[in-house]
Structure 1
């Protein structure tokens, strides 16, 4: 028919079965591939079929990265803490993360804590060796023991916070952080309150105020610490201790103590109140005579502590999804608070004991026919009626 032509060629035969020589076939457009005659193609691994209307055809749809192929038509979420295999045919448990001791997040705070523990024990041993000298007696030996014990526990808290969370370590964390701070700042509050009451009373009357003896001071500090213990017990009743899994994203599982960030903050409100009141007393007593100047060092301690915790709070809550950073920040903040207390309060005493022992001697104050020994700083030591009378007369002369 005109220029149209066709050629017939045998490409196969039938003898009980079809035998086609595909290499002899000529397809449209010169292609050598056999055309596919199918409504839809099989889906690749990790994909499911989605029917198109009422026909038998489908389109292939990819499952989400956290889903596995339940059947050829359904994707199912693996759930928290699990992730699908590469072929999407099932899920496996994700590894549980917590701070490792060999990571920088643990090494840095642990080194700081170890140095602090060594420094605290060295100061404690030095003060114990010179416990009968005026400098040590003037600082109030009983409250010094409580304060240094609180500082030591502050440093030890680092190892509790870095340890693998268990019910026991989580309980110790709650008591450790709260009680250590209440011991430190309860003792400081007791010191500053005593100094303030002595000078306030001395400016008005010659009668010595009540509850300024060492035994009374220990009882007051112990009561402040006991209140923190009670609050911690209430906290454990409201929010039982234990561990929980946290999922910052679908591919991470973090083992943490069962402590919400806000509940931890509220648990420290009592200690924040102790810090605030101690700071107020430190400001009130900043201009007292030089012989009572321990209040100035307490003031330095409280001002620096306030700065540390004002900086810590936004960092702590701003790193809520970075568990390692959050724990490291908390450890460093606690250690810094303890270091500030240790350095500001005890470095002057250590300096006098070690480098200026000539200043660490008793001075005699003559009272009529009697000669009484008095420390060079009576601000936080036991004060006698005669000493109180001297303080009262000195204040009135200054006025």
Structure 2
């Protein structure tokens, strides 16, 4: 530019801010870079994140769009769907093609336009032709501003358009008043305002400095070619342009005045510094040094015609100050309404905005809909404003917009998966259907056991009670009672005390029962085996010995329990894995005692060993007639018990993965224990109680015989008859005296062992029948 400083009143292209190319260029209008920033701020304020751009080919349009894209990248949060350029010489159908292309990204409803008036109008026409009225929301640059021409007869398509325009004001009529008159040739000419009403304040260097500006500020109408318009004057042949006329002032008049004043202030400051006290130019300013003048231009700071400060930055740009308009239709009339401003920061009044079809509700121009609560964003590569929504699954919850995280083990996600909440804790309740059957069996069993105990105590000295072995019978009944009572411990709420009692009594009741039965069957087996070989009684068959053996077996169970308490103290736990279902809504924490399946096997294992051993002895004594002892009832008891526990094992361990594991396993275990106790109680004691209460005639004493006689009679009875009865009233049946410590009478009921309350019986041969004379060496029967 020949190193001559220039001040522009209309050029806004961002390229002009390049000091390396336009170092002597300044302007009183803001660069489109500020306009682009303002438009980015508006887009963000409208919560749009996905827009397309449309630019007229050329410096203004392309530079403006480039600045907008650059600012959107710097600020983030706004993505460009498409960037379309309007050719300088568009072909027929070009604008229809542009609309079709914009519709390819239909979610990008916001269109940012840097285009000339004609291109804007033709784009709106193409949108109306494509029946897209109301689909696109336009955002125009200052080339659109508040102009009527681009939207004339296209009001419905342009409705809601947001535009920006550098802040300006019309020069007041009384300050710019001029009179246009016809000269002698009939052409319209401007006459200066009267001296008493100057158009502008006096310039700093006198009237001569601004004498050339009169043509610039001419208010006489001109044609498009610059030739004054033909006269259309009233009858007075005078046309007055003033405050009350219908004349609308061109929008850049303010900037023209500011540009002239900026140059005037710069020259004034330069003259004051270089030619102090001189009027007119001094040698230092003749000629004017462009570089020096540029420094003075960039340093000016004064209040412009609109009251705004006029300054320049290091690039020669004026500050960015914009008014924001929206094109609105109200009651059939259209107007541009100011809805905000931008001066370094956006000030937008949302309540003033109106949108087609939705009133004040903001329209959407987004790539992807917001994810619902509990969904994370998976961003599309290269397009941060576009994403796919992926739900948090399983036990995950949404940490932030992009992350799902698994809840802690004792928690589950909330309904909307935005956080975690505690997993409900459950236990087997007393009123649960799973507890009804075990409790019923336990209550009935305890009542029956107490009834048997009371009956035995009431008839404690009768032959049947004595023959059953009173000591071991009471031990066995105690074990049966504990088996039933265990049900209540298994259903009670787990705590330290309950869990400790479960450890002790769950296996103890069964150990007591099977230890007593094992001692009985072992005694019967040893007696009959010994009787086959010798007339002497086997060792350790007295009641005291039987009790000692029984409690020795029970003590092993107690010893194991004590070791368990030392190694692993008892406590309750909440198990969140048993019922950790796939759907977290049904997840539950199970309050239970710390008894694992392996610990349970060890706890019941000793009882099972006693049961199996007892069953083996029951099989070995199966040849003993049932009418002589308890061997066969005990055998039937053990066979049935084995069947019960064989059914228990697959049910208990086969449901380890079930959601109802707690209920099924507890019910199965308690029912199995109660059934085992019921089998023992029913087969071993109910027949005795029946005889005692309803057939007392059978509860009478019989005479005693020696052990050898008893064993011989039992053996012969088993060989010759299934019933084993040679003599009436059971006298031919073997009579095994269980009490070998004291003499007395012995009882031979049809099913039981004999018990001799008196002194030890004679262990030789049986006494002869009355009148029988014994052989040599055979003792005679006593009278």
Q: The TM-score by the shorter chain falls in which range?
A: 0.7 to 0.9
Match status 1:9 vs 2:381: no
Question: SS at 1:374's partner residue?
Answer: coil
Question: SS at 1:160's partner residue?
Answer: helix
Partner of 2:503: 174
CA–CA distance in structure 1, aligned partners of residues 476 and 596 of structure 2: 29
Partner of 2:480: 151
Q: Is the 8 A contact 2:438 2:670 kept in 1?
A: yes
Match status 1:296 vs 2:632: yes
Partner of 2:681: 342
Q: Deviations over 1:248-285 (max 9, x none)?
A: 22412111111111221122221111111111111111
Q: Deviations over 1:8-59 (max 9, x none)?
A: 423368694322348999xxxxx97998543443222111122233432332
Q: Is the 8 A contact 1:179 1:229 kept in 2?
A: yes
**CA, structure 1 residues 294+107, in 2 after alignment: closer, same or farther (shift >3 Å)?**
same
Give the TM-score taking structure 2 as reference length.
0.46
**Aligned-pair distance for 1:345?**
0.2
Aligned partner (choices 10, 16, 41) of residue 369 of structure 2: 41
| Structure 1 unmatched runs, 5+ | 26-30, 394-399
Partner of 1:311: 647
CA–CA distance in structure 2, aligned partners of residues 44 and 240 of structure 1: 48
Q: Is the 8 A contact 1:202 1:388 kept in 2?
A: no
Match status 1:252 vs 2:588: yes
**Aligned-pair distance for 1:191?**
0.4
Partner of 2:88: none
Match status 1:51 vs 2:379: yes
CA–CA distance in structure 1, aligned partners of residues 599 and 394 of structure 2: 34
Partner of 1:129: 458
Q: Deviations over 1:192-225 (max 9, x none)?
A: 1111111111110111111100000001000011
**Aligned-pair distance for 1:387?**
6.0
**CA, structure 1 residues 382+237, in 2 after alignment: closer, same or farther (shift >3 Å)?**
farther
- The range that moved more, 243-252 or 102-111, is 243-252
**CA, structure 1 residues 176+2, in 2 after alignment: closer, same or farther (shift >3 Å)?**
closer
Partner of 2:489: 160
Aligned partner (choices 750, 753, 765) of residue 379 of structure 1: 753
Q: Is the 8 A contact 1:68 1:89 kept in 2?
A: yes
Aligned length in residues: 385
Question: SS at 1:113's partner residue?
Answer: helix
Q: Deviations over 1:341-362 (max 9, x none)?
A: 0000011111110111001011
**CA, structure 1 residues 381+47, in 2 after alignment: closer, same or farther (shift >3 Å)?**
same
CA–CA distance in structure 2, aligned partners of residues 22 and 233 of structure 1: 91
Matches within 5 A, 1:1-399: 6=125, 8-10=153-155, 11=159, 16-21=323-328, 36-57=364-385, 58-246=387-575, 247=577, 248-250=579-581, 251-290=587-626, 292-320=628-656, 321=658, 322-365=661-704, 372-376=744-748, 379=753, 381=755, 385-386=760-761, 389=764
| Structure 2 unmatched runs, 5+ | 1-90, 97-121, 126-151, 166-322, 335-355, 582-586, 707-742, 769-783
Q: Is the 8 A contact 1:12 1:18 kept in 2?
A: no
Q: Is the 8 A contact 1:130 1:136 kept in 2?
A: yes
Please report the RMSD computed on the Cα atoms of aligned residues, expressed in angstroms: 2.9
Question: SS at 2:533's partner residue?
Answer: coil
- The range that moved more, 35-44 or 91-100, is 35-44
CA–CA distance in structure 1, aligned partners of residues 645 and 564 of structure 2: 22
Question: Relative to total residues, which structure has the larger helix share, 1 or 2?
Answer: 1
**Aligned-pair distance for 1:69?**
1.2
Q: Looking at CA atoms only, which structure, 1 or 2, has the larger radius of gyration?
A: 2
**CA, structure 1 residues 213+365, in 2 after alignment: closer, same or farther (shift >3 Å)?**
closer
Question: SS at 2:490's partner residue?
Answer: helix
Q: Is the 8 A contact 2:747 2:754 kept in 1?
A: no
Partner of 2:309: none
Higher RCO (CA 8 Å, separation ≥ 6 residues): 1
Q: Deviations over 1:315-366 (max 9, x none)?
A: 0111223211110111110100000000000111111101110010112347
**Aligned-pair distance for 1:94?**
1.8
- The range that moved more, 232-241 or 371-380, is 371-380
Q: Deviations over 1:230-257 (max 9, x none)?
A: 1122233444321222222241211111
Q: Is the 8 A contact 2:704 2:761 kept in 1?
A: no
Question: SS at 1:42's partner residue?
Answer: coil
Q: Deviations over 1:118-140 (max 9, x none)?
A: 00000110011111011000111
Q: Is the 8 A contact 1:182 1:225 kept in 2?
A: yes
